[in-house]
Amino acid sequence: MGVIDVAKRGGRPAPNVVDVCIAAGSFVLFSVPVLAGATPGQGPTAAIVVFGVLVALPLVVRRRAPVAVLATVAAVLVVAALSDVRFTPFVSNGGPALAIAVFTVADRLPVRAALRAGITAIAVVTAAELTAMAIHPGTAQDAIQLVTAVPAGLLGYLFGVRRRLGEQLRAREEQRAREEERRIRAEERLRVSADVHDIVSHTLSMIAVRSGVARVVLDEQPDEARVALGAIEDASRSALDELRAVLHALRDEVRVDAPSLADLPALVETLGLPVTLRVSPHVEVPPLVEEAAYRIVQEALTNVARHAGPVPVTVDVTGLADELRITVVNEAGSDSGTGSGSGFGLAGMQERVALHDGTVEAGPRPDGGFAVVARFPREAARA
């Protein structure tokens, strides 16, 4: 079928190269031999040239105007038959033009429209040939176009079915690609919103804890108050840098360096809580899982600071044979927490872990504390 040339010339599509070659080949192979005297023809030379050009030239635009091309080719054959002009080596000007035109109509048009156009053209040409037999009994005429045009129509129908099936498959693939892109963008928005929530929530909770400490010790232990205020300043700047990086990634669609398990000690330092951190050596998981694990620890420690206050906390990051397990356990708190939460933190944990086919369990302990346990399956993490 050839590759369609999409170049524009004067605002209109350029002719298809294959169709130009077909038109030129039709004239060269079937009319030039008659003009050169290599094969017999009938009629004036000028008429042979005109009919040869008129029947071949429309094939150049056969894809853009299949019905018009078929009508033109049929009209040329009718006039030639009635004028007793043979511009090809064959009886009844048997050549490829009508067959190609019928093929194109069957390929490009719906079945009913193609049948109407094809049958009408073949019938008109056949009727003209039968009439020419009566008008010009000395000129041999036959219905050769029936032998070439009917099979061409069937072949065009098969090609059209195959082409339309291919277009449907491509449309479905494009639809799936668009749906996949929407899903990825939705997940990316969810990830960005979760990152912003974790950064802001963690930083504000740390500021609340540290500022409370500074307020209490400001008069009696000014050095300790300066340390708390310095931690607040450092955390605020770090949070602003993280937020800028996240927003930059959202705007420019680039991936920023994500936090990992190696950043947990620095995270623990910023909160000012009595945290015991234990990380199994040689924990090997994909970067996305490391980021999710980091964010879960961050959110869990933030919740401790907000709801329980400065109580002892134990963080265990354990790499097992079948899973990566994150455990954050705090002792019973006092009234020194920074307030109640919205519930978005635990929901964010569940969403992060669910992306990796993991689970999260969060709830109070019998002794009055609280525990968060997140599990990332190894198989899902590798996938």
Instruction: Compute the distance between CA of residue 78 and CA of residue 71 in angstroms, rounded to an integer.
Output: 10
Query: Do 138 and 181 sit in the same domain of this protein?
Result: no
Q: Per the structure block, which two tokens stand in for 5?
A: 């040339």
Query: Do 187 and 133 sit in the same domain of this protein?
Result: no
User: Is the residue at 147 inside a domain?
Assistant: no
Q: Please state the domain count of the chain.
A: 2
Cα 99–Cα 100–Cα 103 angle in degrees, nearest 5: 85
Query: Do 301 and 376 sit in the same domain of this protein?
Result: yes
Query: Do 45 and 131 sit in the same domain of this protein?
Result: yes
User: Is the residue at 149 inside a domain?
Assistant: no
Query: Do 235 and 293 sit in the same domain of this protein?
Result: yes
Residue 332, amino acid: A
**Structural domain harbouring 127:** 8-142
**Of 117, 142, 167, which one is at a domain's C-terminal end?**
142
pLDDT tens by residue, 335-376: 544 445 555 667 778 888 888 889 999 989 888 889 999 999
pLDDT score, position 256 = 55
pLDDT score, position 255 = 53
Query: Do 225 and 345 sit in the same domain of this protein?
Result: yes
Query: Do 351 and 227 sit in the same domain of this protein?
Result: yes
Cβ(350)–Cβ(295) below 8 Å:
no
Query: Do 113 and 203 sit in the same domain of this protein?
Result: no
The residues, ordered by sequence, that sit 6+ positions from 266 with a Cβ below 8 Å of its Cβ are none
The Cβ-side half-sphere exposure at 229, using a 13 Å CA radius, reads 11
Identify the segments of the chain with pLDDT beneath 50.
1-10, 336-339
User: Is the residue at 62 inside a domain?
Assistant: yes
**Of 94, 123, 142, which one is at a domain's C-terminal end?**
142
Query: Do 132 and 192 sit in the same domain of this protein?
Result: no
pTM > 0.75: no
Q: Tell me which residue of 74, 34, 35 sits closest to 58, measured CA to CA.
A: 74
Q: Tell me which residue of 280, 284, 282, 365 sits closest to 326, measured CA to CA.
A: 280
Query: Do 236 and 365 sit in the same domain of this protein?
Result: yes
User: Is the residue at 19 inside a domain?
Assistant: yes
pLDDT score, position 257 = 65
User: Is the residue at 262 inside a domain?
Assistant: yes
In angstroms, the Cα distances linking 258 to 222, 286, 291 are 36, 12, 6
Query: Do 135 and 185 sit in the same domain of this protein?
Result: no
Q: Is residue 334 exposed (0-12), middle (13-18) or buried (19+ Cβ within 10 Å)?
A: exposed
User: Is the residue at 167 inside a domain?
Assistant: no
User: Is the residue at 171 inside a domain?
Assistant: no
Cβ(204)–Cβ(303) below 8 Å:
no
Q: Tell me which residue of 88, 148, 159 sits closest to 118, measured CA to CA.
A: 148
Query: Do 272 and 371 sit in the same domain of this protein?
Result: yes
User: Is the residue at 247 inside a domain?
Assistant: yes
In CATH, what number is assigned to the domain containing residue 309? 3.30.565.10
